[in-house]
């Protein structure tokens, strides 16, 4: 039989409690996706696609649903902490699984930063104050600190809060939809696409982030009751609900306010509610936006910590990440470390860049999850699969192709950042795998070589062998001084690392 002794322990994760039912799990999926992003990003999406932003949202939902089917099958079959990382670990292991977990961890931190920054941008609708970039960053960091404490205290408390917040949010959005659909003063939504088909695709790539988060159900799967049934139901219910709500909210918003009036708004949905319902509409949608931001922030902090825990459990991250709190049964160290990185990301305050960066990480994760599903189907056909992806293999193939296609339209700066993150993943993996002492010796050799090269470079400049045209004598002396200091540091670091003893590790 293909299922070995490891399969029996997939039903129970040491240190975690299975306390989340279908309602809680579904709300985690919806709450993970309905972030402040949809409240603050719709304006730019409308600028790209006009009223056809509705088509862009439907496309986002379909692309997301392809991969959510893979999540549902794998989550029911392998209900352990770690989500995407757990799936690729079972399918591939080694660097492939590390790479998947790496991007899952990073993208959840980007998503948490996006939620915190998005909340800060809605403050002017609550209080009549100016919001410079510094204030946005400070508010976002403070919010991250609050939800760090909440997540340390435990998933049940966080899950109960999540469910209550999401039910209020959905009720407000439903009231907004009904009001917008029934008001006689609303305008007809005419088809308007300023950039044609490419504008729709650009908007799809940009706003795809608002559908990300439903897979948080998979990340919390070690804490979900009756996982073989609850996980696939919660994932698919949340994915379907997102398509319905987003499409209707966008339609009502465009029915209330002309598209050209939305593109410059920092929170276009709140602006539309204000135009249609006055002050009461503003208050209600600000409450909804606030809940969305807080809910997605809570979910993404929880998600990143579970990924870090799983990677630490398997030896890819330092063991400190897998420590479980004695009282709260949560990976508290992973929560805190991830929140620190999230706060650094949020300090930029630039919502468009953070949104695209979140897209990049999750799209890579989507492709890897679909590949994992296909490999496990081929190589481990006897795994118990309570849920099976429909129309296999066309569904996971469609998930891979459509999600990777969106990368073509992502901001060039984010693609550069993605390349750097890929290189860092390679560096972090092999640094961990070769062992601390060997890594120090290798790093020491690089430092010595670089130090000697810089010393030679400084000597050539000082002796006149190398002439620096275009530099003043003062600038040349400063450069020479910097080179000398750098060479000394590099040589010293090289000697210390090369002569490191085993006990130093």
DSSP 461-477: HHHTSS--TT--HHHHH
CA 65-239-212 angle, to 5 degrees, is 85
Examine the pLDDT at 42 and tell me if it is beyond 70: yes
Reading the block at residue 200, the tokens are: 């729709």
Query: What pLDDT, on the 0 to 100 scale, is given for residue 473?
Result: 73
Contact between residue 152 and residue 330 where contact means Cβ atoms under 8 Å apart: yes
Contact between residue 150 and residue 157 where contact means Cβ atoms under 8 Å apart: yes
Where is mean pLDDT largest: 175-189, 336-350, 459-473? 336-350
Query: What pLDDT, on the 0 to 100 scale, is given for residue 150?
Result: 83
Examine the pLDDT at 294 and tell me if it is beyond 90: no
How much is the average pLDDT of 66-76?
91
Q: Does the predicted model carry a pTM greater than 0.85?
A: no
Examine the pLDDT at 302 and tell me if it is beyond 60: yes
Examine the pLDDT at 505 and tell me if it is beyond 60: no
Q: Pick left, alpha or beta for residue 93 (phi over 0 → left; psi -120 to 50 → alpha; otherwise beta).
A: left
Where is mean pLDDT largest: 194-203, 257-266, 342-351, 448-457? 194-203
Cis preceding linkage at 393, omega within 30: yes
Burial class (CB in 10 A: 0-12, 13-18, 19+), 157: middle
d(CA 220, CA 202): 32
d(CA 102, CA 341): 14
d(CA 55, CA 243): 11
Q: What are the contacts of 266-273 at 24+ separation with CB within 8 A?
A: 266/40, 266/43, 266/121, 266/124, 267/39, 267/40, 267/43, 267/121, 267/122, 267/125, 268/39, 268/40, 268/42, 268/43, 268/46, 269/38, 269/39, 269/42, 269/176, 270/39, 270/122, 270/125, 272/180, 273/176
Query: What pLDDT, on the 0 to 100 scale, is given for residue 182?
Result: 77
Q: What is the mean pLDDT of the chain?
A: 78
Compute the radius of gyration of the chain from its Cα atoms: 25
Where is mean pLDDT largest: 81-85, 371-375, 484-488? 371-375
Question: 193-215 in b/e burial notation, b at 16+ Cβ within 10 A?
Answer: beeeeebbbbbbbbbbbbbbbbb
Listed range (14-23, 249-258, 348-357) with the worst mean pLDDT: 348-357
How much is the average pLDDT of 403-411?
82
Query: What pLDDT, on the 0 to 100 scale, is given for residue 79?
Result: 78
Query: What pLDDT, on the 0 to 100 scale, is given for residue 223?
Result: 75
Reading the block at residue 35, the tokens are: 């972030």
pLDDT, tens digit, 9 for 90 and up, residues 130-178: 767 677 788 888 889 988 888 887 655 555 666 777 788 888 888 888 8
């Amino acid at each position: 039989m293909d299922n070995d002794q490891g399969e029996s322990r997939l039903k129970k994760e040491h240190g975690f409690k299975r306390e989340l039912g279908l309602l809680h799990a579904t709300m985690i999926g919806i709450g993970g996706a309905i972030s402040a992003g949809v409240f603050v990003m719709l304006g730019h999406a409308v600028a790209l696609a006009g009223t056809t932003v509705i088509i862009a949202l439907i496309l986002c939902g379909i692309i997301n649903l392809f991969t959510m089917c893979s999540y549902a099958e794998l989550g029911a079959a392998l209900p352990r902490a770690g989500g995407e990382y757990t799936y690729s670990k079972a399918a591939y292991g080694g660097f492939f699984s590390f790479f998947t977990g790496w991007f899952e961890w990073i993208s959840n931190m980007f998503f948490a930063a996006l939620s915190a920054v998005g909340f800060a941008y809605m403050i002017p609708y609550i209080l009549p104050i100016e919001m410079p970039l510094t204030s946005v960053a400070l508010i976002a960091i403070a919010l991250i600190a609050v939800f760090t404490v909440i997540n340390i205290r435990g998933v049940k408390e966080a899950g109960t809060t999540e469910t209550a917040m999401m039910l209020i949010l959905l009720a407000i959005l439903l009231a907004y939809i009904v009001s917008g659909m029934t008001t006689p003063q609303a305008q007809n939504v005419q088809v308007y696409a300023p950039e044609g088909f490419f504008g729709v695709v650009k908007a799809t790539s940009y706003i795809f982030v608002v559908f990300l988060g439903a897979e948080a159900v998979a990340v919390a799967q070690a804490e979900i009751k009756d996982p073989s049934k609850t996980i696939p139901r919660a994932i698919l219910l949340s994915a379907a609900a997102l398509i319905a709500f987003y499409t209707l909210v966008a339609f009502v918003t465009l029915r209330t306010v002309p598209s050209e009036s939305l593109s410059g708004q920092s929170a276009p949905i709140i602006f539309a509610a204000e135009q249609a319902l006055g002050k009461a509409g503003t208050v209600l949608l600000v409450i909804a936006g606030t809940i969305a931001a807080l809910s997605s922030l809570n979910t993404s902090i929880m998600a990143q910590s579970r990924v870090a825990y799983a990677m630490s459990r398997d030896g890819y991250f330092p063991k400190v990440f897998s420590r479980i709190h004695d009282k709260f049964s949560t990976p508290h160290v992973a929560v805190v470390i991830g929140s620190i990185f999230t706060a650094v990301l949020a300090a930029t305050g630039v919502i468009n860049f953070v949104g695209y960066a979140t897209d990049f990480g999750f799209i890579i994760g989507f492709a890897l999850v679909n590949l994992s599903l296909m490999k496990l189907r081929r190589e481990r056909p006897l795994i118990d699969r309570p849920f099976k992806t429909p129309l296999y293999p066309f569904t996971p193939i469609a998930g891979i192709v459509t999600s990777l296609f969106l990368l073509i339209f992502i901001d060039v700066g984010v693609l550069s950042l993605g390349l750097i993150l890929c290189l860092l993943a390679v560096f972090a993996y092999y640094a961990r795998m070769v062992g601390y002492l060997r890594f120090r010796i290798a790093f020491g050799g690089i430092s010595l070589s670089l130090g000697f090269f810089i010393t030679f470079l400084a000597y050539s400049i000082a002796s006149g062998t190398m002439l620096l045209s275009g530099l003043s004598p003062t600038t040349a002396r400063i450069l020479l001084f910097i080179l000398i200091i750098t060479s000394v540091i590099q040589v010293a670091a090289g000697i210390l690392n090369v002569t490191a003893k085993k006990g130093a590790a």
